[in-house]
Amino acid sequence: MEYIPIIVLVLSFVGLLAIGMPVAWSIAISSVLTMLVSIPALPAFTTISQRMGTGLDSFALLAIPFFVLSGQLMNKGGIANRLIAFAKTLVGSLPGGLALINVIGAMLMGAIAGSAMASASAMGSILGPEMEKEGYSKEFGAAVNITSATTGLIIPPSNVLIVYSLASGGVSIAALFLAGYVPGILTGLFLMIVAMFWAKKKKYKLGERSTLKQVFKTFIDALPSLFLLVIVIGGIITGIFTATEASAIAVLYTLVLGFIYKEISFKSLPEILLESSATTAIVMLLIGASMSMSWVMSYENIPQDISTLLLGISDNKIVILLIINLLLLFVGIFMDMTPAVLIFTPIFLPVVTELGMDPIHFGIIMVLNLCIGLCTPPVGSVLFVGVGVAQTSIEKVIKPLVPLFLAMIFALFLVTYFPQLTLWLPGLFDL
């Protein structure tokens, strides 16, 4: 009898996904069905709806709609063009120069916008045609764009890290933001190394070397955009404002910048606000449904059962972390990032904390794992955006994607087993 709730939860969730039910509805319905095993219908429905509402009742979650809006404003406000121009002067003359520009541009764009899909859309639409013109294959350009776009979910500000803070019971957002820098940059560097080797192998044309004057000019052009990082992250670390307040400041700053660059007008604002509202609504529905499922699992003691099972397999930290990584990589293939963080954090966090792992370190490991999932079918949202922008097919992109996947997995391995890569910066600021 004790395993019936978990069987109902898993089978109903997987079954609903298999028939094409949207993820949020699959989570909510499977949560209700699981509760019906233990309590009557009326209390079950009431409890799930109440938990969905309670799950969204968090001040920290206000940061998400603001960061989504600031990402949209950056995407439409000419910021991506200036970041790409700056990246071009830095690495444009190296082997695979345009691919490296894509990676650096995505890291900078992600660090400012905090959105992988916005980054993939902006970088793909601007750099894709240019890469094709220079002789790069469309599929290689799409593969680089897809994988590099995910670095913005590790490098702060990141909505996913805010969600993890909520799911973990209040891990410091400032500490998580700082912890993401080294793993995010490391992942970007490994992607650049693979891109350089691929470009050399395919003998893609080298770009022209930029002069110091050109580097300085593009840096000055990009400086107002980059300064947003100083304002947002600097303000959070020094305690001048919270992550939520920082997100509102980011909206105001990017709006003013868009008007200064003359890329945003009052006429275009309604469309930007509508797109941001739609994205926020999807994310919030996922969060509400996922929080109800997390509560159901807690009510049915599912996390404790899984924790006992994992620790029963081995008490070796290396083995347990390997199993958790493999499970999260598998989960990332079939589930979107936000619900995965909300559902699996309460399951795995007690296991790793019992083994002595810092929750900040585990948060970065979890997000890195799920970033790989964003690039894999059938649910990989960034994969679909990247392929759509490049006007190619998933089948054709898989071959150049594989070495880039391996680069991301190698970065994940280093971050998992060398915690100082994650915890060094938070420790430096006593967070």
- pLDDT, tens digit, 9 for 90 and up, residues 377-423: 766 778 887 888 888 888 888 888 999 999 999 999 999 999 999 99
Q: Which two tokens stand for residue 139?
A: 């599929």
Q: What is the pLDDT of residue 360?
A: 95
Whether 31 contacts 292, CB under 8 Å: yes
CB 151 within 8 A of CB 141: no
Residue 72 has pLDDT above 90, yes or no: no
Q: What pLDDT score does 423 carry?
A: 94
More confident residue, 319 or 302: 319
Rounded to an integer, the average pLDDT of 299-317 is: 78
**What pLDDT score does 379 carry?**
66
Residue 378's pLDDT is: 65
Q: In which band, very low, low, confident or very high, does the pLDDT at 194 lie, cut at 50, 70 and 90?
A: very high
Query: Per-residue pLDDT tens for 338-360?
Result: 888 888 898 899 889 988 899 99
Nearest of 161, 92, 216, 151 to residue 342 by alpha carbon: 161
Most confident option among 5-9, 266-270, 359-363, 373-377: 359-363
CA within 13 Å, CB half, 192: 21
Which of 90-94, 265-269, 321-325, 346-350 comes out lowest in average pLDDT?
Answer: 90-94
SS3 429: coil
Q: How far apart are CA 115 and CA 92, in angstroms?
A: 24
* pLDDT class of 187 with cuts at 50, 70, 90: very high
DSSP secondary structure letter of residue 205: P
Residue 390 has a CB neighbour count (10 Å cut-off) of 25
Q: Whole-angstrom Cα distance, residue 292 to residue 285?
A: 11
What distance in Å separates the CA atoms of residue 159 and residue 69, rounded to the nearest whole number? 12
Residue 71: closest CA among 166, 159, 137: 159
Give pTM, 2 decimals: 0.83
Q: Which residue from 293, 278, 230 is spatially nearest to 16, judged by alpha carbons?
A: 293
pLDDT digits (tens, 9 = 90+) for 242-259: 878 888 888 888 888 888
Q: Where are the domains of the chain?
A: 1-55, 60-428
Extract the tokens encoding 190.
């490994």
Rounded mean pLDDT, 265-294: 84
Q: Is 172 helix (H, G, I), strand (E, B) or coil?
A: coil
What is the structure's pLDDT at 111?
Answer: 65
Q: Looking at the predicted structure, is the pLDDT value of residue 148 above 70?
A: yes
Distance CA 300, CA 152 (A): 36
Contact 337, 116 (CB under 8 A): no
pLDDT band for position 113 (cuts 50, 70, 90) = low
> What one-character-per-residue DSSP string does 395-423 give?
HHHHHHHHHHHHHHHHHHHHHHH-THHHH
Sign of CA pseudo-dihedral 415, 200, 109, 339? negative
